[in-house]
Amino acid sequence: GVPAEGILLGTVTDDVPSLGKYGIQKVHQVKNESLNVLDPQIYIRIIATLAESAQAAVIVFSHNSSGKAIAPGLSARLKAGLVTGAIALPDTSGNGFLVRKNVFSGKAFATVSIKTPVKIISLNPNSYPVTTGEGRAELVLESVNPESSRVKLKSVNKASGEIPLTEADRKS
């Protein structure tokens, strides 16, 4: 393995260092209220700046609505290879960087090789088990100043009732 670092955008006040129990060693946070609402263009600029300064070789997103909005633009900006909808972490045991994903509506699998210096994957939700351990992540406050957003939040409507199946944990 390589060290795992995370990026947090917005004014999250949770216990960020507790992310260390999931293997994250360092969390780079850009605290700015304007980042509490997803604006893919601004997020792409900030993540690209932080990834370049950290010399990140691999960037992993969740294959959710945010990851689908950010990963392609970030890939273009960084000239990085991108595999979306991965079902496992990459295989780096040989001479490559091989990512497995579903194809044909999940009826078959493809193994995709990324050969660019910077690699981006978006991992399907619930495709990789979450494991916890010990540790605390170092919190690094970054001084990246976001541009003003063209996205304006007018209201928030939260779903209530049943959990959507795509976000539900599988029970045995």
Distances (CA, A) of 34 to 30, 31, 37, 164, 170: 10, 9, 7, 28, 35
Instruction: Give Rg (Cα) of the chain.
Output: 17
For 5, phi and psi rounded to 5 degrees? -125, 150
* Long-range contacts of residues 146-154, Cβ cutoff 8 Å, at least 24 apart: 146/30, 146/32, 146/34, 146/35, 146/42, 146/45, 146/46, 147/42, 147/45, 148/34, 149/34, 149/37, 149/39, 149/42, 150/39, 150/41, 151/37, 151/38, 151/39, 153/37
Strand order in the sheet with 58-62: 58-62, 119-123, 81-86, 98-103, 108-113
Alpha-carbon distance values, 152 to 43, 58, 111, 155 (Å): 15, 31, 40, 9
Residue scoring higher pLDDT (170 or 134) = 134
- Per-residue pLDDT tens digits for 38-78: 999 999 999 999 999 999 999 999 999 999 999 999 999 99
**What local confidence, expressed as pLDDT, does residue 48 receive?**
96
- Report pTM: 0.83
pLDDT in tens, 104-117: 988 999 999 999 99
